[in-house]
Amino acid sequence: MDQTARQAMAEATTRAMYPRDNTARHMGIVVEETRPGYARATMEVRDFMVNGHDILHGGVCFTLADTAFAYCCNSHDVVTVASACSISFIAPGKLGDRLTAEAVEVVRKGRAGITDVTVTNQTGEVLAVFRGNSRTLSGRVTEGEEPPL
């Protein structure tokens, strides 16, 4: 499969997944770009996302990273889920910050994969680093969808 077809497939997976991704949509997470083995998602930190210390709740940061991870892993149009994830928090996010999570596939071999995600704020400061292990299942993400042109 050539690069143009692989790119079309990655974009088709995002179009198939996002309408069903209630969590991402509810939290205002936007998947801005998907390529084979890559995804970028953004989100603005809103008032319900900060904790009692007036900083971004760690679980919300994890959710943004996990969302970018999911779109990256599924960009090959094979249903893929997380098997393990970890996150290291480097700096706090604050109300009003615009966060970006960039996911890059490190390795994909057989049914296993490893993807790294970096979460930054609007100034490029790294807030968190996430590593996810993935496992492919059976089926296509775009099952029942129109094939990409």
Structure tokens at 136: 């492919």
Question: What is residue 70's predicted lDDT score, i.e. its pLDDT?
Answer: 98
Mean pLDDT of 80-100: 98
Q: Is residue 148 part of a domain?
A: no
Q: For residue 35, what pLDDT band results from cuts at 50, 70 and 90?
A: very high
Q: Please, what's the b/e burial string for 121-145 (b: 16 or more CB within 10 A of its CB; e: otherwise)?
A: beeeeebbebbbebebeeebbbeee
pLDDT over 70, % of the chain:
97
Q: Which residues form the domain of 116? A: 3-140
pLDDT score recorded for residue 98? 98
Domain total of the chain? 1
Which residues contact residue 77 at a Cβ distance below 8 angstroms, ignoring those fewer than 6 apart? 9, 10, 12, 13, 140, 141, 142
SS (H, E, C) the chain: CCHHHHHHHHHHHHHHHHHHCHHHHHHCCEEEEEECCEEEEEEECCHHHECCCCCECHHHHHHHHHHHHHHHHHHHCCCEEEEEEEEEECCCCCCCCEEEEEEEEEEEECCEEEEEEEEECCCCCEEEEEEEEEEECCCCCCCCCCCCC
Residue 149 lies in a domain: no
Residue 1: which pLDDT band, with cuts at 50, 70 and 90?
confident
Answer yes or no: is pLDDT of 147 > 90: no
CATH number of the domain within which 10 lies: 3.10.129.10
Residue 146 within any structural domain of the chain = no
